[in-house]
Amino acid sequence: MTEVSNPQLLSLSESAVKRVGVLLENETDGVMLRVAVSGGGCSGFQYGFSFDAAKNDDDELIEQDGIQVVIDNMSLMYIAGSQIDFVEDLIGSSFAIKNPNATASCSCGSSFSV
């Protein structure tokens, strides 16, 4: 059963949990998935994913199925209520964010506008 510490902030799909778990196997203990939003991309804002061992004072920590995700409050403002998914199709695989706040997104799904 999936348990999210704060689902109104951000959640992960089952496939995202599995993929992040696999990627974390190659990282040191205590590393978390960092999600960020920055200006750029063809629609105005773009998503960023990285691994980070530190939680900053302005970060929110979301825990789901043993995966820890950190996101700064400024980024969270743009993607609150979103779900991170891991998608595999014929042209490749990638993380995608299902963002209810986005008013438009690019065709590749890596940038959005609000």
61, part of any domain: yes
- Structural domain including 28 reads 10-102
Q: How many domains does the chain have?
A: 1
3-state secondary structure string across 32-95:
EEEEEEEECCCCCEEEEEEEECCCCCCEEEEEECCEEEEEEHHHHHHHCCEEEEEEEECCEEEE
Query: For 78-96, how does the pLDDT look when each residue is reduced to its tens digit (9 = 90+)?
Result: 889 999 999 888 888 888 8
Q: What is the pTM of this model?
A: 0.80
Q: CATH number of the domain at 97, please.
A: 2.60.300.12
Query: For 46-70, how does the pLDDT look when each residue is reduced to its tens digit (9 = 90+)?
Result: 889 999 999 999 999 999 999 999 9
